[in-house]
Structure 1
Amino acid sequence: MTLKKRYIFLAFIFISNLLFSQKDGDNYYLKNILISLEKKHNVKFSYADDIIKNKKVNTKLLQLSFKELLVKLEKQTNLIFKKVSNRYVLILEKDNSSFICGYVKDTYSNQPIFGAEVYLADNSIGTVTNEKGYFELSGHRKTDTLVISLLGYQSKRAIIPQQKNTECRHYTIEEYSSQLNEILITSYLTDGITKSNNGTIEISPQKRGILPGLTEPDVLQSLQLLPDIQSPNETTSGLHIRGGTPDHNLVLFDGIRIYNPAHFFGMISAFNPYIIDKVNIQTSGVNAKFGNHIAGVIDIETDSKIDSIISGGFGTNLTHADAFLKFPLSKNTAIHVAGRRSLTDAFNSITFQRTSDRVFQNTIIANNQLNDTENFFDKDNTFFFNDFHMKLLVNLGEKDKVTLSQLYVNNKLDYRFGNEDESFIQNDNLSIKNFGISGSWNRIWNDNLKQNTTLYYSNYNLDYIFNGEQTVETSYRESSIKKNEIKEFSLKSLLSTSLNNNHQLSFGLEYFRNRVSFTLGRTYSLFPDNDYKTEENNINNTFSVFSEYQFKKNKDFNISLGVRSSYFSIEKKFAFAPRLFLQSKLTDNVWFNISYEKKYQNISQLIEFSTSDFGLENKVWSLSNKEEIPILKADQISAGLVFKNNGWLFDLNMYYKDVDGLSSLSRTVTSDSDIIQNGQSRSKGITMLFKKTFDNYTTWMSYSLGATDFSFPLANNGISFPDDNDIRHSYFWSHSYQINQFNFSLGWNYRTGTPFTQVSEINENNSQDFIIDKINGERLSHYHRLDFSTTYKFNLSKKKRWKGKLGVSFLNLYNRRNKLQKRFFIANDGSNNTLENEETFSLGFTPNAVFRLEF
């Protein structure tokens, strides 16, 4: 045989073997059939090669429906074809000894995770979890490693159990946001409040246990019970963190900066707690990715999970009603909608009355009610608040996730007072709105590199107009106007990488642009020379670069080093802000931590006196400028100890903080509102928390010793003096008890009074000025109150699909009249100026009730 014929013969033999190896009459090898079926039906088969080796099936089966096809395949191959989701099908051997199963849950919520990928490390076999977090796999080897992965969570590797017929195991995975922050204290004040190794306190409203005086998980009201946070005026928006003022805090909602975080003039937070997943509070060692603030960070995140079924809820208390709905559009897409609206304009409850007494005291409304006669009226008055939230979630494959979030907050008051013939009439119209929208893209490049890119637009608008007119006796007209608007845009991108199990590094860029404007004006026909109108409109562009490095070892040692460098265009100034947080385990039960941080802020609130007649809103936001309002700068150092053992918890923290660049207008340090001074403040304090849990009973006590003093060269003869909201001693004692479906909580709050400036007489040389001895040299009487709340949870269906809650709460049980503020003013009786004073009191005895249903 020639060489050429020999090659032809060998080629013929090779082709014949290849054809007969793929096809035997109408029978094909199963492996090749599966490849065709995956393309045709858009599915994925998971199997081990050894299981399907040499298995053949008839091609006529391809004409059947997919459901019938699986049945026939099982008969012809003597294998098991198990559909675990719409896309994944497991192929198992009957009586397979290498079969494993398990459940995947969230580490901290313990909720099942749907759609997580579960596969062998070499990717030869894989599947996904169902709605219950359940999965099955077969065909693995004894040396294989199981990998569990899901977008937004840290991948987990586990050794596969080697024994046969093993029961289904439970696996937990944690979100990336928690990857570096192992939980140090799992139940800080109560369930649903945790403290991480980096000092961050996390509140999960849906898991939060009962707190004194609260039947609902209001986010900002809950924060007031933390040792580092005070609310001297009892409002949710008036949170003072370690000597800072509320405008020094950074409040974020799904990445949107919120400048008005409250309803009802600060009495109720503007965020629906039933769509919030978690709230992260940082008071020291704040992560470098957060900028433009000098106090604390309150980072609110709504639910970002795509559920497989529709869920929602609705409820009401004695001030407002709310509803929310979480609707999956597909396996990878969902939309969440939530809204609240006050009942105050339709239902005059006792809760609303008591809250109104607190809010409107010493205002035109309260004064008119005291002086009302039969000839006067309150006509067509309107007061309401509402908020609306919508969120779209989209998973773009296994590595990309996109969310769009929106929030609208609105407060409206239209108050009219006058006589029947309208010869005298006053009209106050106040509107406060905050609208924001944000977008977020999360990308997992690989196991060691993640990227988060966010952008947001926020618009805050305060609009107040007063008009008064009298046409009898002495005719006159007067008006006041106050407008304040903030338009802010931000774009930020953050890259995070794991160098190894101990070293983590992140790097980011941020650009934000804020435009702040205000208009202040007044006219009075009797004294036109005093008319004025002031307008300001400034724009600032800030460019920031930041980085954070973290080293951790065996969960016993953790150090974070961060730096943020920013350029403020309005000041043409660079700012360098380093951050440090270190925590180390000293013994089995004791941890030590220390932190340092420098921070800058170029937007803050000023008190504006001339249009504060209405008594509710007399603050305006303003950008820093070179002439009068400098950029705020803060340096803070703190240290602490944590002890926990056998249900006991002791948390001790000490801090020292300096702030430079304060404006006197924002601190009320002079009686002349035209004077603007620059000064500084110094805050120092110690906070302690003791807690003990006994089965169903928990008690905790917190104590704060603090002082914040101001120093302005031209005020108080250059001598430092206490802040208006300085609280030297604060103490809280709480008790909670659970029995079956009932929860009870009782708490007593005590604190020393805030300072005020005692005025002795009117200055004879200037009849519009006071003679004072010392700024904030006196203090109000001590503040204390007792609060109680109870809730009952129940199920309306056997499958516990529909759940309900009833609850009642009582604030200030013994109805103490606590003084919150005292101020002096000059009154004129028509001929002489007299010195008068007015006091602001706390909430009296205030009951509330709640009813909720969720599914």
Structure 2
Amino acid sequence: MKLLRQTNAPAFRKIISKWLLIILLMYCGSLHAQQESSQILVNESFMGKTLINILDELSAQYQLTLDYDKKDIQNRVMTAQFFNDEPIENVLSKLLEGQEVHFTIAGDRKIIIRKISEVLIKTYDPSKFNFTLTGKVKDRVSGETLPFANIWVKSTQKGTSTNQDGFFTLLNVPSDTSTIIIQYMGYLTKELRLYPDLLSGPLVVEINPISAELEEVVITDRKEHIMRASEGISTISISPAQLTALPSLGEKDIFRSLQLLPGISATNETSSGLYVRGGTPDQNLVLFDGFTVYHVDHFYGFFSTFNANAVKDVQLYKGGFGAKYGGRTSSVVSLTGKEGNTHKFSLSAGISAISANATLEMPFADGKGSFLFAGRRSYTDIIKSGLYNDIFDLFNEDEDNGNGGFVGRGGGRGGRFAQTTIEPAFFFHDLNTKISFRPSSKDIISLSFYNGQDNLDESNDLNSDNLGGNFGGNFQFQNSTTDITKWGNVGSSLKWGRQWNDRLYSNIVLAYSNYFSDRDLFSETEITRSDSVFNVIRGTVEDNDLKDFTLRLDNEYLLNEQHSLNFGTQITSNNIDYNLALNDTLNVLNRNDEGLVTAFYIQDSWKPTPQLTIVPGIRVSYYDVTEQSYFEPRLSASYQLNDKIKLKGAWGKYYQFVNRIVREDVTQGSRDFWLLANDITNPVSSSIHYIAGVSYETEDFLFDVEAYHKEMDGLSEYSLRFSGPRSRGFDELFFEGSGYARGIEFLLQKKFGKFTGWVGYTLGEVIHEFPELANEPFHALHDQTHEFKIVNSFRLGNWTFAGTWVYATGKPYTAPIGGYELTLLDGTTSNYNSVGSKNSLRLPDYHRMDVSVTNNFKMGQATAEVGLSVFNLYNHTNVWYKTFEIIEDDVITTDVNTVGFTPNIFFNIKF
């Protein structure tokens, strides 16, 4: 044999002879032991007991000698029952199923349990060479498959990753005794040595989540926490299960955590949306189990709509993303929902200063299926916590209550006659359910549903008596205001994934999504003077309803070790209604848009050498509204210069057919609404991405630098701000612009160990050009030149200490310079502000520090965690925006500040 020729032959033969003797003795012993063990029949119930306790009971009840090391056993809770005189070897086989151990009945009622790597591997010579390895990666505790886990052959550059359903194919594995390494965010890194008997069918690899570590197990494997940024170009992976380690404003929040990454703005306390490399939240494609989510905010944006307890995996593509994704011009966030525990019933619950949540998981169909239910609801309509009051006061500080300036803050020249405080009724809720079924080892079918909604009621009844009399005897008034706002998302998807063979995998998804935002504001005021009575009626109705029906087919075909193809098609039908009416008489804008986008894409991941990967692709979309085809070529490449240094770059063209239009109103604040592009009032938007970077990675650290330039065209804005009296109608107040964003990002991450975290810095610029709104290009509202972030997490036993610090230069804003009166189309007059140069001023610099401490502990058979987090620890005053009043030609400026020092306590328990 070649192996014998390369090794000291006598010594090698001696080792082989020794192991053959051991195997022979074990085999002979097992023959004798099987005769004896066949008389050991078990009749026991082990419901709710841990595996180690069961082994101890078996040892005592049946006079067995069990020889094993507790650190080799994953001590999970069992639900096994044996009532039919079950032979001991069958009992042990069932109890130890999924464990990486092998048992031998050695005689004298002695049973030896050893790790597979210690007993079996050394007894096998390889029988296959350069073979194809297929399988799936699963969570050992819940049985869920894990998407985007990394698998590679140790000491080689051969590797792959699981797809969204947890399946993988690895070509040309050197031998069936090779060692493979499996790594996934928030889980222990695992080394698994293959052996022929293990590969009789598709390989199922189970790995342990960090949260499942047991006190009696000595952990020596390496861990990855929270975030991984070393894979792909502008690609970030986040572990939702580990987000409790980070400080939060009140909820464990996925999108708030993403804001701590370089290239994404972290100073938007009132928006969970992502401002990625100069883009705006509507330019991000957000997918949850295959359906599109159009609005990601709860509670004015302080929390995102996604319950982290219902999310299994998060993939963020900050730019240069592949041809599989389309319809957005900035970035992609792909979230995979949890499927539910396939092993046993599981229940968890939690409470914080804002909301309470519960998650239920249970298997069915003998573990082939699972069900998940996750619900969350704020109790802010019942209990007004300090955190709730801080947040609502922030928004209520400058709200015009629709009372014509008589109550609250007036607009324009209206002044203030009196001021009062409204106690609003507000709450939000969201619900996730998912049913998954695996009819075979090659198929998975899932049905996912999401519903989230915010409800705000600021209705009130006021009169001059409860505001201090008749204001000097001039008049009295009575006011009745109805002010109800609702907004939310509904989404659902039906998905079938199938592995047709070792090389072809397909996913077909039928998805539905609905975003709605409804505001009904109606105010009637009766004013009584000494000689007259008259009524003032004001109101605003603003409704936006967006429906999305999508059918998508994605295919992955592994052609050979050099070429991996992705191809598919997508059909999306959109129906969007928007209506804005003022005072029941003035219909400002009424749109009903329908459109169909049909797209096809193909992409090849080509590895001409083991060090070089080139990914060319193209996406072609046909949009029936404009009756045009849009070609979107994409190209990315990476080159592994050596073991530590990787060079990378990407370029791509992107189009967007559904746009969120900003409605600028200096006096009432900017609002936004969704419309379909039509190339008449609002164009199809587009962007071109240019990205180049280099990363330096060791076992413990990653240093990554990426520079980007993004050209943007077809930007839209709808403005009710006039630079002077004009005759154009309200439906013509759309403005078209272009722009660019450019910058450079730095990331230094410590990946492993008790102390982990990262430092990020972004130097960037975002320039917009709207010729009809400004005479020259201007910095966008979300432009920030410098942004610096520090994120740290330290684990000490069951305690986790974490802290974040964010610093950023101020954002631009526009200030008024005077006022004027304008006659509207319905003949009425209104006061307007005359503004200065667009975004020519800057808010003060922003910075804050957040800290948290979390303790994990056991409560009987349950696990629990309790924690304290503090937002804005040193109570720095950050300016959110400025408001303006013009009184006697003087501009009065008021700073509206963000939330100050805000503590939050949370408690979670899992049964």
Q: TM-score surpassing 0.5?
A: yes
**Secondary structure in 2 aligned to 1:708?**
strand
- Quick one: which amino acid aligns to residue 278 of structure 1? D
Is residue 363–residue 613 contact of structure 1 (8 Å, CA) maintained in 2? Answer: no
1:642 aligned onto 2:695? yes
Report the TM-score, using the length of structure 2 for normalisation.
Answer: 0.72
> C-alpha separation between the residues in 2 aligned to 1:287 and 1:669?
42
TM-score by length of 1: 0.76
**1:429 equivalent in alignment to 2:484:** yes
In 1: Cα distance, 2:848 partner to 2:867 partner: 20
1:761 CA drift (Å): 2.8
CA gap 1:95/1:720 in 2 versus in 1, 3 angstroms: same
Matches within 5 A, 1:519-534: 519-523=579-583, 531-534=586-589
Partner of 1:252: 287
What whole-Å deviation, never above 9, does each CA across 1:115-147 have from its counterpart, x for those lacking one? xxxx99999xx9x9997899xxxxxxxxxxxxx
Give the length in aligned residue pairs: 718
2:395 aligns to what SS in structure 1?
A: helix
Q: In 2, Cα distance between the equivalents of 1:649 and 1:498?
A: 30
Cα RMSD over matched residues?
Answer: 4.0
Which one-letter code corresponds to 1:541 in the other structure? L
Cα offset for 1:607?
2.8
1:728-759 CA distance string (max 9 Å, x none): 11112233322111111222211111111233
When residues 573 and 805 of structure 1 are mapped into structure 2, their CA distance, relative to the original with a 3 A threshold, is: same
Q: Structure 2: how far apart are the matches of 1:258 and 1:433?
A: 10
Give runs of aligned pairs for residues 129-528 of structure 1, distance below 5 A.
152-155=166-169, 159=175, 190-208=225-243, 210-213=245-248, 217-304=252-339, 306-330=341-365, 331-364=367-400, 378=422, 381-419=424-462, 423-473=478-528, 474-523=534-583
1:67–1:365 Cα change, 3 Å: same
Residues 501 and 846 of structure 1: CA distance in aligned 2, closer, same or farther (over 3 Å): same
Match of 2:320, as an amino acid? Answer: G
Task: Give the superposition deviation at 1:235.
Answer: 3.2
1:364 is displaced (CA, Å) by: 3.3
Separation in 1, partners of 2:308, 2:581: 38
Distance 1:742 1:540 in 2: 53
Other-structure match for 1:655: 708
The C-alpha deviation readout for 1:780-813, integer Å capped at 9, x for no partner, is: 111111211111111223xxx4111111111111
Structure 1 contact 667–724 (Cα < 8 Å) conserved: no
Matched with 1:39 is none
1:787 touches 1:810 (CA, 8 Å); kept in 2? yes
Worse-superposed segment, 314-323 or 212-221: 212-221
Contact 2:719 2:733 in 1 (8 A): no
CA contact (8 A) 2:399 2:409 kept: no
> Counterpart in 2 of 1:44?
none
Q: Is 2:849 aligned against 1:786?
A: yes
C-alpha distance in structure 2 between counterparts of 1:198 and 1:248, whole Å: 19
> Paired residue for 1:608, among 653, 660, 663?
663
Taking the aligned partners of 2:846 and 2:428, their CA distance within structure 1 comes to 30
**Conserved 8 A contact 2:142-2:343:** no
Superposition pairs for residues 75-114 of structure 1, below 5 Å?
A: 84=94
User: Quick one: structure 1 residues 288 and 825, their matched pair in 2 at CA, closer, same or farther if it must change by over 3 Å?
Assistant: farther
Match of 1:183 in 2: none
Output the CA distance in 2 between the equivalents of 1:661 and 1:679.
6
CA distance in 2, matches of 1:93, 1:376: 80
Q: Is the 8 A contact 1:743 1:791 kept in 2?
A: yes
What is residue 900 of structure 2 aligned with on the other side?
A: 844
One-letter amino acid of the counterpart of residue 451, structure 1: S
2:35 is aligned to none
> Match for 1:840: what amino acid?
V
Question: Which one-letter code corresponds to 1:586 in the other structure?
Answer: L
Question: Residue 315 and residue 373 in structure 1: after superposition, are their counterparts in 2 closer, same or farther (change >3 A)?
Answer: farther
User: How far apart, CA to CA, are the structure 2 residues paired with 1:131 and 1:697?
Assistant: 25
For 1:23, the equivalent position in structure 2 comes to none
Q: 1:402-457, CA deviations, whole angstroms, 9 ceiling, x for partnerless residues?
A: 00000001100111223269921212110102111101000111001111000101
Partner of 2:583, secondary structure, is strand
Whether the 8 Å contact between 2:340 and 2:363 is mirrored in structure 1 is: no
The alpha carbon displacement at 1:84 in A equals: 4.9
- Is residue 910 of structure 2 the alignment partner of residue 854 of structure 1? yes
Relative to 1, partners in 2 of residues 1:638 and 1:174: Cα closer, same or farther, differing over 3 Å?
farther
State the match for 1:795 in structure 2: 858
Distance 1:83 1:600 in 2: 56
1:716 aligns with 2:730: no
Q: CA deviation at 1:769?
A: 5.2
Going from structure 1 to structure 2, the CA distance change for 1:678 and 1:324 (only over 3 Å counts) comes to same
Q: Secondary structure at the match of 1:221?
A: helix
* Structure-2 residue corresponding to 1:733: 790
2:672 alignment partner, one of 616, 619, 634: 619
* 1:818 positional shift: 1.0
Partner of 1:683: 741
Equivalents in 1 of 2:758, 2:546: separation in Å? 41
Q: Secondary structure at the match of 1:196?
A: coil
Give the secondary structure class of the aligned counterpart of 1:550: strand
Match of 2:815 in 1: 758
- Runs (5+) with no aligned partner, structure 2: 1-81, 118-126, 144-161, 179-190, 207-221, 411-415, 466-476, 529-533, 824-829
Give the direction of change, closer, same or farther, for the CA distance of 1:277–1:627 in structure 2 (3 Å limit).
same
Aligned to 2:682: 629
Preserved contact between residue 192 and residue 205 of structure 1 (Cα < 8 Å): no
Indicate the residue corresponding to 1:114 in structure 2. Answer: none
Provide the rounded CA distance (Å) in 2 between the counterparts of 1:250 and 1:103: 45
Match runs of 1:799-838 below 5 Å: 801-824=861-884, 835-838=891-894
- 1:193/1:208 contact within 8 Å kept: no
Identical positions, percent: 28
> Which whole-Å CA distance do the structure 2 matches of 1:624 and 1:130 have between them?
43
Shift of 1:846: 1.1
What is the DSSP-based 3-state SS (H/G/I as helix, E as strand, rest coil) of the residue aligned with 1:206? helix
CA shift for structure 1 position 233 = 2.8
User: Per the alignment, in what secondary structure is the counterpart of residue 509 of structure 1?
Assistant: strand
- In 1, Cα distance between the equivalents of 2:141 and 2:820? 76
Mapped partners of 1:493, 1:522: distance in 2: 44
Quick one: structure 1 residues 403 and 561, their matched pair in 2 at CA, closer, same or farther if it must change by over 3 Å? same
Q: Alpha-carbon deviation of 1:608?
A: 3.1
Contact 1:103 1:132 in 2 (8 A): no
Q: CA shift at 1:837, angstroms?
A: 4.0
Contact kept, 8 Å, 1:364 with 1:613, in 2: the verdict is no
CA distance in 1, matches of 2:90, 2:750: 54
Alpha-carbon distance in structure 2 between the residues aligned to 1:541 and 1:174? 42
User: Is the CA contact 1:811–1:844 (under 8 Å) kept in the aligned structure 2?
Assistant: yes
Query: Does the aligned pair in 1 maintain the 2:142–2:342 contact within 8 Å?
Result: no
Judging changes above 3 Å, is the alpha-carbon distance between structure 1 residues 173 and 853 closer, same or farther for their aligned structure 2 residues?
Answer: same
C-alpha spacing 1:304/1:667, structure 2 compared with 1 (3 Å): farther
Q: Partner of 1:500: helix, strand, or coil? A: coil
Contact 2:815 2:835 in 1 (8 A): yes
**Structure 1 unaligned blocks of 5 or more:** 1-65, 105-118, 135-148, 176-185
Following the alignment from structure 1 to structure 2, what is the Cα–Cα distance between the partners of residues 721 and 228? 20
SS at match of 2:391: helix
Question: The residue matched to 1:230 in structure 2 has which SS?
Answer: coil
Quote the offset at 1:304 in angstroms.
Answer: 3.1
SS in 2 for 1:805: strand
Pair member with larger Rg: 1
Query: 2:251, 2:767 → 1: CA distance?
Result: 36
User: Offset at 1:613?
Assistant: 7.6
Shift of 1:69: 10
Alignment correspondent of 2:181:
none
